Amino acid sequence: MPRADISPLLQRATFRIAAVSFWGISAIVMATSYIVAGVAVNYPVEWVITGLACVAGLVCWFVPWQKVAINRFIPVVFAGLLMLTIGVFATGGTRSHLTVLYLVVLVFTASMLPFRVALAVLAYSAVAGTLPVLVDGWDGAYVRSLIMVMASMVICAFIPALVRRALREENQLAERRRQELEGSYLATIEALAAALDAKDRHTEAHSRETAALSRAVGRHLGLTDESLRFLEYAALLHDIGKIGIPGYVLNKPGPLDDEETAIMREHPVIGERIVASVPFLSRIRPVVRAEHERWDGGGYPDGLKGETIPVEARIIHACDAFQAMSSDRPYRRARPLEWILREIGAQSGKQFDPTVAQALLDVIERREVVVTGTAESNPHEDRPLAEAHSWTHHLDAIQQLGARLSSVVDVPHVCETIGKAITTLLPYDQCRIYLLEDDAHTLQAVYFSDTKRAEYDGVNAETLAIEVGQGITGWVAETKQGALVGDSERHPKAVHIPGTTDADESMLAVPVIFEDRLIGVIVIVKVGLHQYSGDHLRLMTILANQAAVSIQNARLIERLAMTARTDPLTGLANRRAFEQELEEHLHAIPSQTFAVIMLDVDDLKRVNDAFGHAAGDDVLKRVASILIDRLREGDMVSRWGGDEFVLLLPGMDQVGAVSLARRIGGTLLHGDAIVQPISASIGIAAFPSDGTTAAALLAAADRSMYQEKRQVA
């Protein structure tokens, strides 16, 4: 880095002057070498030196020397002196006109480098200037000029040194004043932060850590040192407006209602007014106001969007969210780091500026800043909460889980909700929820979440399928007893999962049971020995009981929904289901051709009278089976009522429907597993030629069917 007494701007300006000097002096030297005739000038050497001087000028002008340590220029200076000495001999030795340039080099050196280097240049110049006399012989005029040049060089070595010393002392005095001023600024900021801390005991640590993280992200994005300093100030004070928020709102241990939310959203405006009263903080006013604005425009208080939000506010917004998620709150525990990183990635381009979000993820991945959240927490480590707080938190979470499950009506969603609750409340590297298949022997994983550890790279839904009685999971299913395993690899019931590596691993597995009937098994595992306790097992058992009730209710709702849409005799869709499907088809794909076939079994009453209603039911089941066999993927058949059936055939035209109807009629008439052959009247309607509404199509098919029935009769 540059010396403390040489500012980067002065250093750059000096090198710009050096560049102009190289170009100007080299041109003048070359031109003056041609003025006097009879002077012994080695023009090829002179042209080479002139070219090198021009290149040196380009280097001085374009290279950012202010970023290079000043002491590294010492070899460059002496290389230039060597070039100058060669030039003196190339332009006549004692008759050379270049000796004055030793003075120029010395002035440049004394201006930029320590005084001892200037003295070394002076000594070198004296020796180099004397060499032509030793080579060419005594020349009085040259010696007189050399003595004057050397005397001038002594003066020019001392004057810049004295100027540099005065500048250094002035800079040191200015730096002390700046530090004192900045100290007063920081005292002001600390006083404001202390005022907020007196009202909200969670905010001080939150603001400090958000500030540290914001500075790291800002540095990653290339902000200047001054911008980083004010970014840190803004991050420290981004929540200062909460001073004006009522305590009952600020410290409420649960979700805010609409009125409380409106009050809370005033704090950025209040914060802007507070910092406006401190003149040196005027730069961060728009940042404090915009810290809660979102990249997609959904933030507050002004609904700013995209790059209209100050970049400092975008940085603080992302870092604020990360720190908040990684800290304990009165209403929830800190989120796991993996969950937080996924959430930030998911919100990139929505809540967060994508560039800022990526920079934040990079900073966290490289551990450039260790964000500890509250004083006791660390998002990079799984850690238990204090006993009383932990169980209070767990009970609150279980209560909230019950409220969420009350609105879930399908089994996959129930398992996902339970799984997310488990991964939030308990340490884990994998969480699996198995459900027992209809064969009552196979456990299939319907929910799976992991932390992407290398030990589990080969795990997938296929490798997780297991039989009842197989492995620890199957053993829990068989015995219907929970298991707390401190070393799952060495457990007598352990079965190695294909594709995974051998590793020290702990496991919790609890059965999901409803009315003493096994529904499934919930399993969590974590790398490391003895990672779980009895409290963890009890908590998992409570969650498994909630899962059992919710899964059973969801299955009951699914069965009721299926019953409401299914004909109990044939297992086909009923009339209501067909009408809904037909309406949805008309609205979803209004331009697609399709056909409706209506079928009526002839003389079913005669079969019932002759052989009994059981035989008539067998006829209807046989018809349903034949119709199902003739369906393509996407077709639908339903029992319309009594002895009538109706088919919906997407993409089929009138000709195709007639062909299918004939094949169905022939199969029914020549069937062999019935009391007698079945004859049926079949009617066809095609969309849109026979109708454009459900009622019109069904009426057309019904007319066609009865027309065929009359012809047969």
**Distance of alpha carbon 218 from alpha carbon 225, whole angstroms:** 10
Least confident of 374-383, 593-602, 633-642: 374-383
Check whether residue 468 and residue 337 sit in a common domain. Answer: no
552 shares a domain with 690: no
DSSP letters of 17-56?
HHHHHHHHHHHHHHHHTTTSTT----HHHHHHHHHHHHHH
The answer to whether residues 420 and 558 belong to one domain is yes
Residue 421: what pLDDT? 85
Q: How many domains, the chain? A: 4
- List CB contacts of 240: < 8 A, sequence separation 6 or more: 192, 193, 195, 196, 270, 271, 274, 275, 288
Domain span at residue 319?
A: 201-365
Q: DSSP letters of 617-683?
A: HHHHHHHHHHHHHHPPTT-EEEEEETTEEEEEEET--HHHHHHHHHHHHHHHHT-SSSSS---EEEE
CA distances from 461 to 437, 443, 520 (A): 14, 11, 15
55 located within any domain? yes
255 domain residue, yes or no: yes
Nearest to 419 by CA among 401, 392, 437: 401
629 in a structural domain: yes
Best mean pLDDT range from 160-174, 397-411, 670-684:
160-174
The token pair that represents 331 in the structure block: 């209403």
Considering 562, 583, 598, which residue would you say is the last residue of a domain? 562
Q: Which residues pair with 434 in a beta bridge?
A: 445, 521
Once rounded to an integer, what is the mean pLDDT over residues 67-92? 74
Q: State the average pLDDT over residues 300-304.
A: 91
CATH classification at residue 540: 3.30.450.40
- In a domain, residue 180? The reply is no
pLDDT at 374: 35
Shared domain check, 17 and 89: yes
**Domain CATH code at residue 229:** 1.10.3210.10
Among 347, 365, 383, the domain-final residue is 365
Same domain, 609 and 550: no
| 442 domain residue, yes or no | yes
Q: Measured between alpha carbons, how far is residue 126 from residues 72, 113, 161 in Å?
A: 24, 19, 19
Are 161 and 88 part of one and the same domain? yes
Whole-Å CA distances, 494 to 165, 338, 470, 491: 78, 28, 8, 5
Q: Are residues 243 and 331 in the same domain?
A: yes
Tell me: cis bond preceding 677? Omega within 30 of 0 counts: no
Asked if residues 162 and 193 have their Cβ atoms less than 8 Å apart, the reply is no
**pLDDT at residue number 498:** 64
516 lies in a domain? yes
Instruction: Note whether 459 and 522 are same-domain residues.
Output: yes
Look up tokens 């003149």; give the residue: 279
Listed in sequence order, the DSSP H helices in 406-448 are: 411-425
Chain CA centroid to CA 232, Å: 23
Q: How do residues 418-477 score in pLDDT, each as one tens digit? A: 888 888 888 888 898 999 998 888 998 889 888 877 777 767 666 678 889 888 999 999
Tell me the pLDDT tens digit for each residue of 196-242: 655 554 554 677 788 889 999 999 999 998 899 889 888 888 888 88
Same domain assignment for residues 163 and 14: yes
Residue 629 CA: distances (Å) to CA of 601, 663, 711: 17, 11, 28
Q: Is 462 helix (H, G, I), strand (E, B) or coil?
A: helix
pLDDT of residue 523: 93
The verdict on 149 and 238 lying in the same domain is no
Give CA–CA dist 288/211, Å, rounded.
Answer: 13
CA–CA distance from 185 to each of 173, 192, 209 (Å)? 18, 11, 19
Q: pLDDT by residue (tens digit) across 665-685?
A: 888 776 554 446 788 888 999
Mean pLDDT for all residues in the chain: 79
CA 639/CA 140 separation, integer angstroms = 129
* 279 in any annotated domain: yes
Question: Is the pLDDT at 359 greater than 90, yes or no?
Answer: yes
511 and 621 inside one domain = no
Of the candidates 132, 103, 319, which has an alpha carbon nearest to the alpha carbon of residue 213? Answer: 319
d(CA 1, CA 660): 88
- The pLDDT of residue 385 is 40
Within a domain: 72: yes
User: Residue 33's pLDDT band (boundaries 50, 70, 90)?
Assistant: low
- Provide, rounded to the nearest whole percent, the portion of the chain with pLDDT above 90: 15
252-271: pLDDT as tens digits: 656 777 888 888 888 899 88
Residue recorded with tokens 């059981």: 614
- Asked if residue 325 and residue 301 are part of one domain, the reply reads yes
